[in-house]
Structures are given as C-alpha cells and as structure tokens.
Amino acid sequence: MDESRNAPGSAGYKVGVTIAQQRKLIVIVICVVIALLVAAAYAARYFVAQEREQKAAQAAAQKEQTAKRLADQFAASASERARVREQMRDALGKRDFDTVAKLATPWAGVADEEMKALRAPADKAIAARNAAAAVAKAVAGKQADLAKRKREGVRIGMTKQEVYESSWGRPDKVNTTTTARAVREQWVYRNRGSGYLYFEDGVLTSIQN
C-alpha cells in the first residue's frame, strides 16, 4: 500500500480534508436551518397567544364599559324612571296600550320590575289586537276572493268546489255516469236557461250554455 498518498501535504490528504470540511459545513447549515424553524414555530405560537390575549382583553374592556354605561344610566335616572312609571300607569288606565309600549321601549335594557309589570298587559293587548287584525284581514281577503269568484263565470279545469263558489253556484240536478275509465258528471242549471257543465273525475271539461 502506498502511504505517500495519505501523507500530509499530498493530494489525497488534501482531498480528504476538503470532503470532511464540506460535510462539517453541511451539518452546520442543517443545524442552523432546524434552529431557525424551531424559533419561527415558537415565535408564531407566541404571536398567536398574544393576539388571543389582546382580543380577550378588548372584549372584557368592552363588556365592562357596557356594564358601566348601563349602571350609570340606571343610577342617574331614578327620578326620570319614576316619571315614566307614572306616565305608564296613566296610559294603562286609559287603555292606551301603544303609549305604554312607547314609553317602556327606551328602558328595555334597564327596566325595573314595576316597569315590566306595567308593560306586560300592554304587550299582551297589542299582541291580541294584532292577531285579531291579521285574522280579520285574512277573512276579508277570503270574502273578497269569494265575491270575485261569484262575479266570474266558470272555466275549463275548475274543480267542483271552485264551480260552487263561482257565479254558477250549485246545480239543480246532477247526472252521473261511471265507467271503467272515469266518473263523468253532467250538472244541469235550469235557472241559467238550461246550462250544462260536464266533469270528468271532478274536473270541469266542457261548458254548454
């Protein structure tokens, strides 16, 4: 074996040293990259935690401000509250429920038990009135629809109920024919100058005046 190749100062020796230095440099670079990644991860966690803490502090501060504002409003308005309660009692005695609700609305967030007790019957009466108005509107709409149908004639495709509610009304006589395919009806209207309506399975298919 030629040991002169690995002797200090020889070309082989220099090549070996260079390779070792390169490997050492690679290891150092890898360690630095890992250290940077770990540091970045810890920094990200730190900033996220800081952001959460900041948002929580802001929410708590806002909540505290709201509570303080309501408390100040409640404490500073004792005389005004008493005046409003008196007006509510007066309006309630006159059965002026809308005024009671109007007076109570600005105090919804800080109303005391007496205000709530004064408003409760007004809210109940207003709800009942609105429900009655809705029913009356629905009934009026249905009556108007029926009246319109009464003024109108019949048309192909109507059901028997729709014909009942039309200007034709109920027939004077019904002739029924039942076959394997359908049930056919002839409605006879003598008061219309011998008018006839023909149905098949409950649907108007023909009109004869």
Q: What is the pLDDT of residues 113-138, one digit of tens each?
A: 888 898 999 999 999 999 999 999 99
Per-residue tokens: 45: 């966690």
| Whether the model pTM is above 0.85 | no
Determine the Cα angle at 118 with ends 114 and 122, to 5°: 160
Confidence band of 90 (pLDDT split at 50, 70, 90): very high
Question: Helical H runs in the chain?
Answer: 11-76, 78-93, 97-104, 113-151, 160-164
For the cut 90, the answer to whether the pLDDT of residue 186 exceeds it is: yes
For the cut 70, the answer to whether the pLDDT of residue 4 exceeds it is: no
Decide which of 75 and 58 is more confident: 58
When the pLDDT of each residue in the chain is averaged and rounded to a whole number, the result is 84
For the cut 80, the answer to whether the pLDDT of residue 38 exceeds it is: yes
Q: 10 Å Cβ neighbour count for 62?
A: 10
The most distant pair of C-alpha atoms in the chain lies apart, rounded to whole Å, by: 137
Confidence band of 17 (pLDDT split at 50, 70, 90): low
Q: What is the pLDDT of residue 1?
A: 47
Contact 118, 85 (CB under 8 A): yes
Residue 18 to residue 29: CA distance in whole angstroms: 16
Residue 129 to residue 148: CA distance in whole angstroms: 28
For the cut 80, the answer to whether the pLDDT of residue 18 exceeds it is: no
Confidence band of 99 (pLDDT split at 50, 70, 90): very high
Decide which of 13 and 147 is more confident: 147
**What is the average pLDDT across 20-42?**
86
Determine the Cα angle at 113 with ends 107 and 117, to 5°: 90
Report for 48-52, 62-66, 154-158, 191-195: range of highest mean pLDDT: 154-158
Residue 189 to residue 197: CA distance in whole angstroms: 8
Residues in CB range of 67: below 8 A, 6 or more apart = none
Confidence band of 202 (pLDDT split at 50, 70, 90): very high
Give Rg (Cα) of the chain: 46
Share of residues in the chain with pLDDT > 90 (%): 34
For the cut 80, the answer to whether the pLDDT of residue 12 exceeds it is: no
**What is the average pLDDT across 141-170?**
85
